[in-house]
Structure 1
């Protein structure tokens, strides 16, 4: 099954996230980025993805956006009407890595990857203030 993963954000966040992911997992030709830059309109990003959908370049399209309710996410959310498209807001590196590496269909991979990404968010000060065993942290 061919999957295309698109990181979409305000500014350069998506490009930086993709660059870091590639540093860890190697080049992934199915990973691309879209950026909403000052002076541009989010509908331009939507049109770019619509062109890819029309071209039929993949069986599944995963769009990871930076912020739920943000203009990038709002513009792209309508694309989820296409059954090939899955949109997840609030991307972080853990989530990107999990989904780039998962062989599972997105409908199964996304819930597990979200749970894993959430577990990776840890307030370091609280851990230092209340020492725990490694088993309690994970």
Structure 2
């Protein structure tokens, strides 16, 4: 089965996130970004996303969005009955890079699990981490 990443976000967050990831991993393929801009109504946005996913019934999609409960997330949730998508919220740069690096090697469900794992592991309170390191160094 072919696999793709679909990114649905508010504003151009998704587009810029892909540009940032490309600074690290180089040009990315098999990624489609749908930006919800102020001039686009939710029905048109949903139609665009649905048309794209429906046009590729033999493709499995890992769909990632910025905010649970926001329009991009709700649009993707409404498309889950299509059967070939998994939807993950909380998109960040670490998640995108890791999932992209595994795209050719893991099934969509496993990529979704990977995305959630990276989401949980990619956030730190840097002040606390530095304090721990300093205490370790002193002791």
The normalised TM-score by structure 1 is 0.86
Distance 1:64 1:121, change over 3 A: same
Query: In the TM superposition, what whole-angstrom CA distance separates every residue of 1:7-42 from its partner, at most 9, and x where no partner exists?
Result: 111111101111111221221221121111113212
TM-superposed CA distance for 1:112, in Å, is 2.6
**In 2, distance between residues paired with 1:65 and 1:84?**
16
Q: Which residue of 1 aligns with 2:132?
A: 130
TM-superposed CA distance for 1:57, in Å, is 6.7
Asked whether 1:96 is paired with 2:117, we answer no
TM-superposed CA distance for 1:92, in Å, is 0.6
Q: How many residues align?
A: 134
**In 2, distance between residues paired with 1:55 and 1:89?**
23
**In 2, distance between residues paired with 1:29 and 1:109?**
16
Tell whether the 8 Å contact from 2:94 to 2:119 is kept in structure 1 after alignment: yes
Query: In the TM superposition, what whole-angstrom CA distance separates every residue of 1:50-80 from its partner, at most 9, and x where no partner exists?
Result: 2122322752112111100112211221111
Tell whether the 8 Å contact from 1:14 to 1:34 is kept in structure 2 after alignment: yes
Q: How does 1:82-93 map to 2 (within 5 A)?
A: 82-93=82-93
Q: How does 1:14-93 map to 2 (within 5 A)?
A: 14-56=14-56, 59-93=59-93
Return 5+ residue gaps in structure 1 as ranges.
134-138
The normalised TM-score by structure 2 is 0.85
Flag as ranges the 4+ runs of structure 1 deviating above 4 A.
Answer: none
Return 5+ residue gaps in structure 2 as ranges.
none
Tell whether the 8 Å contact from 2:2 to 2:60 is kept in structure 1 after alignment: yes
